[in-house]
Chain A
């Protein structure tokens, strides 16, 4: 009980600070994913075209994924120094695999018959990509972004070790004091909340962008009315 009271007290005293770190944390994750998307989506499209490249690129992204987060930060820190940019860069690296993989899968899974009919109707290669492949792969690509965002929100907490700030700061402070449970929770709860929220929002977007659209109820009703 006491812990919860402590927690509430912490929030009431440091509300602005927690919000500031929350925002900072989110931005780091979002930038990481955004930059990764800019690189990984085109890469995914390219390797879907040239299948021979796909094994190489995906293996490389796999290797990046296996490096422990702390080790990655330490190594990057040696090159890039302390600070936010290093964290964003490592988040970028971690986001590559899910986005590349999903883009690749999404594009490869577009029905071959659709590509053929697109081509046969006189679409240029770019039109096939833009009007057929991307819209149909969009929900799978979004699922990749969703995974990436949730992963990066988790990893960004470690950023505190190289002075990047974020909610990790609060957690670390909690571990350094005696009886810091409330402070650890004060950092951990918003992190978890952010991950869950991000997952929900991205999940909603994913469904929104799904190629098979359910018609709106109102439209259906209209047609039924006309029929009646």
Chain B
């Protein structure tokens, strides 16, 4: 739907921002332009809605050369979100959202309904409609900024580092929300960022640029697996490349190697203290040789604290374990199926070597979806 054909941009003074760029973007695709600052990614994006006009070459939207269409009309058909958010402070949220509709001369009543409808997309209540931008938090403002770009149901949306100015937590949640929204609405999105994590997380295809030229253009997986050259490798970062290899297969690689343990000779009050200290609700019981005996939890201690005083008297020996060499996917299935909170990992001699908890699972899932988490945190 969007096609760059030998596009170049030379600024006054001879600075070549974009050099002979060829690219085709199909409908519904989420494209991330990424690269160091000054690589021409923003220029490339702004050429699409003619905020900057190309010096050479042609850009086609649905087969129509953008230089043949009226720039004002063209821009009304393309959504635009910027880093500085750019909500108009003198207009209410409702007016801000429906501004493009107002420019397109949609009747007031329809604009109001549309604004209300859009707000529900980002889980905001209709009473925000009458508020002014300065009454909203940064994250909420950028949600409105995104809605504004969706208001006229534009098929193509340009985003210039839209989440760059937000704090990391808000950014994270907005990215997630936005990705969901994009899948639902099936928009073509051109997204400029300098944050590789963001690009890997959101994009269908990533365009890595340097000095006005495309260095590599591929899916996130493909870029991680086969970086085109040293520049790309360096830009992605070594950590991410390591993780991208599908090497997490056995439990031993993902387990937490230092579970909280106690020996049978300890007293129950010591056990409670240990739990409190490490903020856990159960302890694995081992002997001197680290052979797993069983487990105790808060409930068992509570029920038996009048009758017993040592751990070995209340320990539950019926405990499910997995071997260090078990496959991760099997273990996951067991954990989920049996509704267990954790599984101790043992070696051939039934000695405790680690533990797999639900938190480890979250890490794996996170890793397999985004492929960006730090491996050392898990293993």
Using a CB–CB cutoff of 8 Å, the interface residues on chain A facing chain B are 111, 113-114, 116-124, 127, 131-132, 135-136, 211-213, 215, 219, 223, 226
Contact check: which of B51, B76, B132 meets A215 at CB < 8 Å? B132
CA distance A213 to B73 in the complex (A): 31
Contact assessment for A113 and B72 in the assembled complex, using a CB-CB cutoff below 8 Å? no
Query: B295 on the interface (CB 8 Å rule)?
Result: no
Q: Which residues of A contact B82 (CB under 8 A)?
A: 113, 116-117, 120
B80 touches A215 (CB 8 A): no
Chain A proximity of B241: nearest CB distance (Å): 36
For A219, the chain B residues whose CB sits under 8 A away are 130
State which residues 20-68 of B face A: CB under 8 Å: 49, 51
Tell me if B84 is interfacial: C-beta within 8 Å of chain A: yes
Q: Give Cα distance in the complex from A123 to B49, angstroms.
A: 12
Pick the contact of B51 from A116, A123, A132, A226 — CB < 8 Å?
A116
- Which residues of chain B come closer than 8 Å to A213, judged between CB atoms? 90, 132
CB distance from B74 to the nearest CB of A (A): 8
With A113-B85, A114-B88 as given contacts, are A120 and B131 in contact (CB-CB < 8 Å)? no
Contact indicator B103/A132 (Cβ below 8 Å): no
Contact call A136/B90, Cβ cutoff below 8 A? yes
Instruction: Establish whether residues B103 and A123, one from each chain, have CB atoms under 8 Å apart when the complex forms.
Output: yes
- In-complex Cβ contact of A117 among B86, B127, B130, B132 (8 A): B86
Residue interface mask B71-113, A partner, CB < 8 A = 1: 0111111101010111011100000000110010000000000
In the complex, what residues of B have CB within 8 A of residue A136's CB?
88-90
List A contacts of B85 (CB < 8 A).
113
Indicate if the CB atoms of A116 and B86 lie closer than 8 Å: yes
**In the assembly, what is the distance between CA of A119 and CA of B103, in Å?**
11
Q: Would A119 and B89 count as touching, CB distance under 8 A? A: no
A215-B86 Cα distance, complex, nearest whole Å: 20
Contact B75 A121 (CB under 8 A): yes
Taking a contact as CB atoms closer than 8 A, the residue among A121, A123, A135, A215 that contacts B90 in the complex is A135
- With the chains together, A118 CA to B73 CA distance in Å? 13
- Closest-by-CB residue of B relative to A127 is B103
Q: Is there a chain A Cβ closer than 8 Å to B134's Cβ?
A: yes
Q: Are A117 and B72 in contact (CB under 8 A)?
A: no
Contact A122 B73 (CB under 8 A): yes
User: How far is A121 from B97 in the complex, measured between Cα atoms in Å?
Assistant: 11
- A-B pairs with beta carbons under 8 A, tally: 66
- Chain B residues contacting A131 (CB-CB under 8 Å) are 88
Which residues of A have CB within 8 Å of B132?
212-213, 215
Most buried by B among A111, A114, A124: A114
CB distance from B165 to the nearest CB of A (A): 10
Q: A122, B90: Cβ atoms under 8 Å?
A: no
Residues of B within 8 A of A119 (CB): 51, 75
What A residues does B84 contact at CB under 8 A? 111, 113
**Residue numbers in A under 8 Å from B134 (CB-CB):** 212
Chain A hits for B88, CB < 8 A: 114, 118, 131-132, 136
Q: Can you add 19 more A-B contacts, CB < 8 Å, to A114-B88, A116-B51, A120-B51?
A: A113-B82, A113-B84, A113-B86, A120-B75, A120-B80, A121-B80, A121-B99, A121-B103, A122-B73, A122-B75, A123-B103, A124-B72, A135-B90, A212-B89, A212-B132, A212-B134, A213-B132, A223-B127, A226-B127
- Cβ distance B140 to chain A, nearest Cβ, rounded Å: 15
> Which A residues are in CB contact (< 8 Å) with B127?
223, 226
A91 to B127, CA, bound (A): 49
Q: Given the interface contacts A120-B51, A212-B132, does A114 sit within 8 Å of B86 by beta carbon?
A: yes
Nearest CB of chain A from residue B156's CB, rounded to whole Å? 12
The smallest C-beta distance from B118 to any residue of chain A, in angstroms, reads 15
Query: What separation, in Å, do the CA atoms of A212 and B136 have in the docked complex?
Result: 13
Within 8 A of A (CB), among B114-173: 127, 130-132, 134-135, 148, 158
Say whether B51 contacts A122, CB under 8 Å.
no
Most chain-B Cβ atoms within 10 A of its Cβ — which of A119, A120, A135, A213? A120
Residues of chain A within 8 A (CB-CB) of B74 are: 122
B100 touches A122 (CB 8 A): yes
Taken together as a complex, chains A and B put the C-alpha atoms of A123 and B131 apart, in Å, by: 23
Bound together, the chains give a CA A113 to CA B87 distance in angstroms of: 9
Tell me which residues from 202 to 221 in chain B have a Cβ below 8 Å from any Cβ of chain A.
none
- Chain A residue with the shortest CB-CB distance to B158: A120
Of all chain A residues, which has the CB nearest B46?
Answer: A120
Q: How far is the CA of A111 from the CA of B99 in the complex (A)?
A: 18
User: Considering the chains assembled together, what is the distance between the CA atoms of A162 and B88 in angstroms?
Assistant: 50
Query: CA A119 – CA B51 in complex, angstroms?
Result: 8
Minimal beta-carbon separation of A127 from chain B (angstroms): 7
Chain A residues whose C-beta falls within 8 Å of the C-beta of B90 in the assembled complex: 135-136, 211-213
Q: A23 CA to B78 CA in the complex, in Å?
A: 56
**Complex Cα–Cα for A226 and B86 (A):** 30
- Considering the complex, give the chain A residue whose CB is closest to the CB of B133: A212
Q: Are A121 and B76 in contact (CB under 8 A)?
A: yes
20 A-B pairs with CB atoms under 8 Å apart are: A111-B84, A113-B82, A113-B84, A114-B89, A117-B86, A120-B49, A120-B51, A120-B82, A120-B158, A121-B75, A122-B75, A123-B103, A124-B72, A131-B88, A132-B88, A212-B132, A213-B90, A213-B132, A215-B132, A223-B127
